[in-house]
Structure 1
Amino acid sequence: MAAAEAAVVSSSSLKPDTAPVPESAEMAAATAATSSAMAAAAAIAARTGSEARVSKPALATKLLSLSGVFAVHKPKGPTSAELLNRLKEKLLAEAGMPSPEWTKRKKQTLKIGHGGTLDSAARGVLVVGIGRGTKLLTSMLSGSKRYIATGELGKATDTLDSTGKVTEEKPYDKITQEDIEGILQKFTGNIMQVPPLYSALKKDGQRLSTLMKRGEVVEAKPARPVTVYSLSLQKFQPPFFTLDVECGGGFYIRSLVSDIGKELSSCANVLELTRTKQGPFTLEEHALPEDKWTIDDIAQSLEQCSSLLPAETALKKSKPEESNEQVLSCEYITLNEIKGEDDVIKTF
């Protein structure tokens, strides 16, 4: 408004010899309307600014009140823990947390974790617990998981997948589709399986994969009982073969593919791995892609996914005394790994 007035004054001063023109009623009305519009715009801007100031605390309140279990789509590349950190950082950034305005308030913690490690070279469903939903993650381990795995015959690696160093090569040209289908029954049902050295299993509190990367000598864990509910060959185009596997907790697809290669008097490693289902969560129906990692999208997913969980594991509603003031008293968020089962990370 002031700038507009200054422009008018400057424009008038350029024509000192011109007599002022009387303002018509129409011009007066237009001027008044313009002034009213500008005043309204200023009021809206002020109100919008106020709303922007309160939106972050409101989002923080909503974020810290989220509880339940949902699923995200993990791409190839990051580890499950790295993906969880990425998810956490996106949510905290959206909510403007931590914020200086909360530095003197009582500390609150955002709980978030995942229920079942997925290899960095794999993609697919990663089940995530948030709030009190982290208590349900252990139950996710005992449920079934489903994978589509593509193996490569003729090559063995130290990691049992394509990310490792080739340790052995054997011929595979005489292996037929019938040969593969004929041995799958040996790997179905309740079987014994030796976990891979590159895994989340621990020795003296450290992961075997970490020790292997350091070049330390690591002994293989003893074979342990695992369950394969179904196993079928989907495609065979030598040297590649694709399996559809449904299994229980603690099962390693990399070990399965390696063992199949050995059973065929050759060797094999995992080329591609996708987890298509974990418990009731499927990749197509429930796994949120990264562009949906927002507070509102996750809240909606939690609501939709609550019906998928068994009644006995359903979360109770928040207590009435848990007020917004208590939730908003967040100073910072902690994220610390604690000991749990082999392939679960809980973060608090």
Structure 2
Amino acid sequence: MAGVSTVPNGSLSKLQSLHGIFAIYKKQGPTSADVLNTLKKALLKEAGVANPNPRKRKKQPLKIGHGGTLDSNASGVLVVGIGEGTKMLTTMLAGSKKYRAVGELGKATDSLDVTGNVVEEKSYDHITKEAFEEKLKQFTGEIMQVPPLYSALKKDGKRMSVLLKQGQEVEAKPARPVTVYSLSLQDFSPPLFTIDVECGGGFYVRSLVDDLAKGLSSCAHVKELIRTKQGQFTLEEHALKEECWTLTDISQALQPCPEPSGQQKDAKKSKSKHKSGPSESKGDDGDHNSD
């Protein structure tokens, strides 16, 4: 068939000419880093790079990163920056996100989600739908939140979740201010409940569910978590499924980088003389369960 074959060099040039951000669908199971490596490998392979190793950092022909970790057990929107678009990811970390979470009352786990070990069981028969909705009001607006021990946050350069799995003792990070723009109960069928939450950066849905249940004299953990929106990207309209991780589909979905002003260009030239840029931006802010 005419026009089907591609010239590898041409494809690689096309790939390297992409600069901006787009959204992909992260399925439940793999880590956000695993998903990014799968995407990178698919793009490099399509561009004709033989035996691409997405984990190799040095001399990479492709710069790519994500704008906020999703837990391995979570699914949904994962914003990706490519080329100069990796520099736009810090904006995505601070921006608002929407989640739908299914929680289970009566059982608490060490990870605060279904992947952990049950560490406490309490009754929940006393909790009514009305009491639950009333409690939600206390977690709306500017609140203080303690991040989960099992998270992408780091201690001495290592992720706390990794240190815990190695058997090391880890102290909880201090409570920090986070923002909840909206919080609503979608379904209440004890022990299960479903909530929708829109929040700012650094927020953990796992901690919210844990705190909610404690406030109701019970305990709970997250069974299912879906990020339905991040910034301008929604799950329904923008998140590319794995079969669409192609040069053509990404080119069409890409939100390009804004053109730098003359002053920004001069500043960039001055900065590049002193420091070379990162080969990859991960964009981790511990958005774990908001990652």
TM-score (norm 2): 0.86
* Residue aligning to 2:286: 343
Deviation at 1:343, TM superposition (A): 3.3
* Residue aligning to 1:140: 92
* Residue aligning to 2:275: none
Letter in 2 for 1:61: S
The 3 A distance-change label for structure 1 pair 315 and 152 is: farther
State how 1:231-246 maps to structure 2 within 5 Å.
Answer: 231-246=183-198
* Distance of 1:297 and 1:214 partners within structure 2: 41
1:188 to 140, 155, 162: 140
Matched residue pairs, number? 266
- Residue-by-residue CA offset, 1:162-210 (whole Å, 9 max, x unaligned): 0100000000112110110011111000000000000010000000000
Letter in 1 for 2:123: P
* Distance of 1:80 and 1:57 partners within structure 2: 29
Higher relative contact order (CA 8 A, sep 6+): 2
Letter in 2 for 1:202: K
Deviation at 1:109, TM superposition (A): 3.1
State how 1:1-348 maps to structure 2 within 5 Å.
Answer: 52=5, 55-98=7-50, 109-302=61-254, 305-306=255-256, 314-316=258-260, 342-343=285-286
Structure 2 unaligned regions, length at least 5: 53-58, 262-277
* Distance of 1:94 and 1:111 partners within structure 2: 16
Cα pair 1:115 1:343 within 8 Å, conserved = no
The 3 A distance-change label for structure 1 pair 183 and 99 is: closer
* Residue aligning to 1:103: none
Cα pair 1:68 1:129 within 8 Å, conserved = yes
Letter in 2 for 1:244: D
Deviation at 1:342, TM superposition (A): 2.5
Higher Cα radius of gyration? 1
Write out the 4+ residue segments of structure 1 that deviate beyond 4 Å after TM superposition: 335-341
The 3 A distance-change label for structure 1 pair 152 and 108 is: closer
* Distance of 2:160 and 2:168 partners within structure 1: 9
The structure with the greater share of residues assigned to strand is 2
Deviation at 1:116, TM superposition (A): 0.3
* Distance of 1:99 and 1:267 partners within structure 2: 48
Deviation at 1:58, TM superposition (A): 1.3
Secondary structure, aligned partner of 2:195 = strand
- Residue-by-residue CA offset, 1:38-81 (whole Å, 9 max, x unaligned): xxxxxx9xxx69x84x6211111111111100000000000000
Secondary structure, aligned partner of 2:252 = helix
Secondary structure, aligned partner of 1:287 = coil
Secondary structure, aligned partner of 2:225 = strand
- Residue-by-residue CA offset, 1:7-29 (whole Å, 9 max, x unaligned): xxxxxxxxxxxxxxxxxxxxxxx
- Residue-by-residue CA offset, 1:246-297 (whole Å, 9 max, x unaligned): 0000000000000011001000000110000001100000000000000111
The 3 A distance-change label for structure 1 pair 116 and 211 is: same
Deviation at 1:316, TM superposition (A): 4.8
Structure 1 unaligned regions, length at least 5: 1-43, 101-106, 307-312, 318-334
The structure with the greater share of residues assigned to helix is 1
* Distance of 2:231 and 2:114 partners within structure 1: 27
TM-score (norm 1): 0.72
